[in-house]
Structure 1
Amino acid sequence: MTHKKKLLDLVRDKIRFKHYSISTEKTYVFWVKHYIIFHNKKHPIEMGKSEIEAFLTSLATKKKVAPTTQNQAFNAILFLYKEVLGIDMSEWNIQALRAQERKHIPVVLTTEEVQKVLQNLTGIYKLVVTLMYGCGLRMNEVLNIRVKDMDFGFDKLYVWDSKSLKDRTVPLPLKLKDELQVQVKKIEEMHQKDMSDGFGTVYMPFAYEKKYPKAKSETKWQYLFPMNNISKDPRSNVKRRHHIHPQTLGRNIKIAAQKANLNKRVTSHIFRHSYATHLLQVGIDLRSIQELLGHKSVETTMIYTHVVSEMNKAKLISPLDF
């Protein structure tokens, strides 16, 4: 058991060295641990191709996991062998039974339904979700916005290092400009108070902290949507102000959707789907939408053409109504 714990600590160290997020750290450690337990706590150095295939196949056949979950587990094991144990798996040609992939057409809200949800949100959460819809952002992108990412001169928002590791800019909704400027002022005042209370630093991405040691105390690096309270960083134990917790935002969206009496499953991602679909409906070309969303491939963006196609079908009438 001590041997296994040591290995998991090595996994954590390597993940932190490579600047992966804490959610990726938790996910990878979870799957590495389950892989080891699945094979009766055998050390991964003593296992190989057949054991990996057996584990991944079991996830698909017995656990009935989604394809994305199976891929997540495979990526964790790949990381373990390549980055931690220094073993190249490229020639192993892993052939596990793949979890069955179902093509989902994303659920979207009409512009009226979006407004209904927004009307049932209050305070900071209303501003966060409105910006998320207005810019087509993922939840982690909107929560990770820093003061410096708002360009009020050119009316654009910088989205740094998102899921596709591709930075991009999106037009800032002019309707939100005044409200966002007020929010920046609030952050400036909050940061001044934090500094006088002996806090005021913020989590810095990648190697910025070493390169610019003073930046973590600068107002421009503070989160645009911070928590109400100072909290302890789970990795460094430093007390500082982090951004709003994803679960808190998700809970507020769920409550607002219930109040709006919508029979659709409303999550944070539904606003991104709705943004893309509504742009497509007013004639914005697919390539532009791909760039705004930060998709690597236009094929990913093409799912929204199916959504619009389904909507157009709704305009057809039944023979009963002839």
Structure 2
Amino acid sequence: MPTQSPFLDFVTEEMYKRRYAKRTVETYLHWIRFYILFHKKRHPKDLAEQHVDQFLTYLAVNRHVAVQTQALALNALSFLYKEILQRPLSLNLNFNQSSKPRKLPVVLTKDEIKRLLREIDPGYLLLAQLLYGSGLRLMEAVRLRVAAIDFDYLSIMVKVVSTVG
């Protein structure tokens, strides 16, 4: 893994201290790193809100990102400025909002699901069926224990580990 700057190491450490999920940490670091590179490797403490506006506008106008993607980048930068640099962003940022329409999720037919499940390695079949049938998240299913299954009521008890991230 390529080494990152001491600043990004510090940001990573702070997010893990605050118990952010691993994927949230990775995503926020991606956007913070992209923001720094966009501004020619200038340190975020030397950048103002207008630079945040420029970056978010660039994402919408030049990169044509979806609304949710732009919002995710904004959340990452909001965390950076509020929690790391102790300079919260104002509520009246002036950037062009993305207009890319939201994609509808792909829904598979029952036959497509059956064909898909037939192709899965038998060692992972139960996990795949559990994910599909219960709506569990991947890590919830991986961490599932027999004690969490109520066979009388045909239900599963899922313990919420973290609500942050």
Q: TM-score range by the shorter chain?
A: 0.7 to 0.9
AA aligned opposite 2:129: T
Report the Cα offset of residue 80 of structure 1.
0.7
User: Are the structure 2 counterparts of residues 77 and 17 from structure 1 closer, same or farther at C-alpha, using a change threshold of 3 Å?
Assistant: same
* Residue 57 of structure 2: aligned partner: 57
TM-score by length of 2: 0.83
Report the Cα offset of residue 101 of structure 1.
3.5
* Residue 83 of structure 1: aligned partner: 83
Rounded to whole Å, the distance in 2 between the matches of 1:59 and 1:123 is 43
User: Residue 159 of structure 1 aligns to a residue in which SS?
Assistant: coil
Structure 1 residues not aligned, in runs of 5+: 167-322
User: Are the structure 2 counterparts of residues 103 and 92 from structure 1 closer, same or farther at C-alpha, using a change threshold of 3 Å?
Assistant: closer
* Residue 131 of structure 1: aligned partner: 130
* Residue 119 of structure 1: aligned partner: 118
Using CA pairs under 8 Å that are at least 6 residues apart, name the structure with larger relative contact order, 1 or 2. Answer: 2
Report the Cα offset of residue 113 of structure 1.
2.3
1:107 and 2:70 are equivalent in the alignment: no
AA aligned opposite 1:123: P
| Contact in 1 for aligned 2:65/2:100 (Cα 8 Å) | no
AA aligned opposite 2:108: L
Report the Cα offset of residue 153 of structure 1.
4.4
Rounded to whole Å, the distance in 1 between the matches of 2:65 and 2:127 is 32
AA aligned opposite 2:15: I
User: Are the structure 2 counterparts of residues 147 and 94 from structure 1 closer, same or farther at C-alpha, using a change threshold of 3 Å?
Assistant: farther
User: Are the structure 2 counterparts of residues 93 and 149 from structure 1 closer, same or farther at C-alpha, using a change threshold of 3 Å?
Assistant: farther
Size of the alignment, in residue pairs?
161
* Residue 14 of structure 1: aligned partner: 14
Rounded to whole Å, the distance in 2 between the matches of 1:102 and 1:162 is 33
The structure whose Rg is larger is 1
Rounded to whole Å, the distance in 2 between the matches of 1:22 and 1:28 is 10
* Residue 97 of structure 1: aligned partner: 96
Alignment of 1:38-77 (within 5 A): 38-77=38-77
| Contact in 2 for aligned 1:49/1:92 (Cα 8 Å) | no
* Residue 36 of structure 2: aligned partner: 36
Rounded to whole Å, the distance in 2 between the matches of 1:142 and 1:152 is 16
RMSD: 2.5
